[in-house]
Structure 1
Amino acid sequence: MATGEWELALAVWQETELLLWKPPAAWFSINAFYTHRGMRNWYVNFEHPTRRTPDGFDTFDLTVDLVVDPDLSRLTWKDEDEYAHVRRPGITSDTEHQAVDDARAQVLAMVEERSGPFADAEAWTSWRWKPAWPAPRLT
């Protein structure tokens, strides 16, 4: 991360299905992960707001994450040590840090209030991708 250099690689998503909720200006995305048995968990990824590019969409992962049980009963912060590590050399700026703190508060309020995608958390536990649905296309 410190060099800011990236290399794209071809990869195939495996093991889970993912339903992603990402408001364009938000400093987070809310992901619902599913296995063949049903919803595994909610996963909140703290990241830069989405930018449209000629190839699709770009964002930047800010390392800290929140894992939430499907029924919203338990929340577990993930990679706090990694986040502290990227804060020390300034890879994550003070401005980004403030945005992450604000986003953390926003997400915790959404879970507590059962708003946003968490409003219908119980219904989302039974959601399934239908293979007959057409693949999404960028327009």
Structure 2
Amino acid sequence: MTVVFEPGSTVVRRDVRDGKVWTAAPHRVLADDGTRMLLVTWPGTAGYTLTNWIRSLTGGGEQARRQAVADLAAGVWELGRWVWRDTIVVTWIGLDPDFSLQHYQPVDAGPGHWKINFERPVIRSREPDRIDSCDLLLDLITDPDGTWRWKDVDEYDEIRSKGLISDVEHERVQAARRRAVAFTETGQGPLAEDWTSSRVPADWPLPVLPDGVLNTHE
């Protein structure tokens, strides 16, 4: 039976590698039909991510970021608590099996941007309500003027060279990259809409991670 999540409910988006969680972030559901899902998260929401990733965002710089990627490639890491800041993030799941689409809107009303996030196909589950995937560290960014650019290609190449991405999966990602460029250049789906004024419903509290969210049963 297909798992369908109710609007307003909390769903945890996790990245999992070899049965081990490396990110967990709670979102609220805006809409879901069992195939396509629309999620939102916003500043103040607390989740987990790689400790070295947190260091890279809080003064550790590029060296900490490189170590976070190396930790992921090696399959050995520590998790730390991370509180989201600065932007409202709306995420579309199910537009394509190999990527999600996100819109980042600064809370200070500055210019937002779009990101296509390449990842493994999403698995929906209960207890807790969640969607599991694995971010492949490759993004396609569309700036406010409509121009697009690749992001984190070196990181993708690194995890591929260290065996996290097989040759078969790499070919799948290459095909997804072509679809993503076509999706972006033709302004398909949400890209054709104005999301700059999107706001979280005023009566929604911050989503909170449930107990046991770091456990897996693989």
TM-score scaled by length of structure 1: 0.81
**In structure 1, C-alpha distance between the alignment counterparts of 2:188 and 2:180, rounded to whole Å:** 9
| Map of 1:4 onto structure 2 | 75
Residue of structure 1 aligned with 2:188, choices 101, 115, 131 = 115
| Contact residue 23 and residue 29 of structure 1 kept, 8 A | yes
Residue of structure 2 aligned with 1:97, choices 147, 153, 170 = 170
| Map of 1:41 onto structure 2 | 113
Question: How far is the alpha carbon of 1:136 from its aligned partner?
Answer: 7.2
Distance 1:46 1:103, change over 3 A: same
Amino acid in structure 1 at the alignment position of 2:188:
S
Residue of structure 2 aligned with 1:126, choices 197, 201, 204 = 197
Question: How far is the alpha carbon of 1:5 from its aligned partner?
Answer: 4.3
Distance 1:24 1:111, change over 3 A: closer
Matched residue SS, 1:100: helix
**In structure 2, C-alpha distance between the alignment counterparts of 1:108 and 1:124, rounded to whole Å:** 20
Which is strand-richer, 1 or 2?
A: 2
Count of residues paired in the alignment = 134
**In structure 1, C-alpha distance between the alignment counterparts of 2:104 and 2:198, rounded to whole Å:** 10
Question: How far is the alpha carbon of 1:95 from its aligned partner?
Answer: 1.9
Matched residue SS, 2:84: coil
Using CA pairs under 8 Å that are at least 6 residues apart, name the structure with larger relative contact order, 1 or 2.
2
| Contact residue 38 and residue 126 of structure 1 kept, 8 A | no
| Contact residue 29 and residue 44 of structure 1 kept, 8 A | yes
**In structure 2, C-alpha distance between the alignment counterparts of 1:119 and 1:31, rounded to whole Å:** 13
2:125 equivalent to 1:86 = no
Distance 1:63 1:23, change over 3 A: same
**In structure 2, C-alpha distance between the alignment counterparts of 1:126 and 1:38, rounded to whole Å:** 11
| Contact residue 24 and residue 49 of structure 1 kept, 8 A | no
Report % sequence identity: 40
RMSD of the alignment, in Å? 2.3
Tell me, which stretches of 5 or more residues in structure 2 are unaligned?
1-71, 209-218
Once the two structures are overlaid, the 10-residue window that deviates more, 27-36 or 51-60, is 51-60
Tell me, which stretches of 5 or more residues in structure 1 are unaligned?
none
**In structure 2, C-alpha distance between the alignment counterparts of 1:113 and 1:13, rounded to whole Å:** 31
**In structure 1, C-alpha distance between the alignment counterparts of 2:104 and 2:112, rounded to whole Å:** 5
Residue of structure 1 aligned with 2:179, choices 77, 89, 106 = 106
